[in-house]
Amino acid sequence: MKKVSLIILIIIGLALIPGCVTEQEEGIAISLKNLSTDKVLYHSSENVNFTAMIYSESDLKNVTIIATGINGRLNEKKILNLKTGINEVSFNYNLPKCNVCGGISAGDYSLNCDVIYKNITAEKSITIN
């Protein structure tokens, strides 16, 4: 019974680590190694370019990658095939010309990325301003 409890605690602990594989199925594993942007500070009308570095232990087809954030303004989904090793996936979002009229005022905003394949999910978030 103690072994089962310990295993459950380890699985729960791993699921809470950002960028960690939340599930593994039949030897298939993916993880979101890094999420980065081309700049730290953005202004009106600029393009936010960001890249997700996704590791796959094997070739996978029809993997869903979802980018969200900036108070719900960014919501982009891509369905791609991943190759064994590191896969680089890029997203971009064009900020409105006017902060006030565009509904995005100065401040910190989160960018989130979810990688989903069957019952396996990896996720990571970063903050930009």
pLDDT tens-digit readout, 31-58:
999 999 999 888 888 999 999 999 999 9
Question: What single-letter DSSP state applies at residue 83?
Answer: P
- For domain 2-128, the CATH class is mainly beta
Confidence at residue 43, expressed as pLDDT on a 0 to 100 scale: 86
Confidence at residue 70, expressed as pLDDT on a 0 to 100 scale: 87
pLDDT tens-digit readout, 91-113:
999 987 766 666 677 788 899 99
**Residue 28: pLDDT band with limits 50, 70, 90:** confident
Rounded Cα gap, residues 48 and 95, in angstroms: 7
| Dihedral sign from CA coordinates of 35, 63, 29, 4 | positive
- 29 and 52 Cβ atoms separated by less than 8 Å: no
Q: Which residue has the higher pLDDT, 10 or 81?
A: 81
Q: What is the pTM of this model?
A: 0.75
Calculate mean pLDDT across residues 6-29: 50
Q: Residue 67: name the closest of 99, 35, 111, 25 by CA.
A: 111
Confidence at residue 75, expressed as pLDDT on a 0 to 100 scale: 94
Q: Residue 28: name the closest of 70, 4, 68, 57 by CA.
A: 57
Calculate mean pLDDT across residues 17-22: 46
The domain ranges of the chain are 2-128
Confidence at residue 108, expressed as pLDDT on a 0 to 100 scale: 86
- 26 and 7 Cβ atoms separated by less than 8 Å: no
CA dist list (Å): 67 to 25, 102, 113: 23, 20, 5
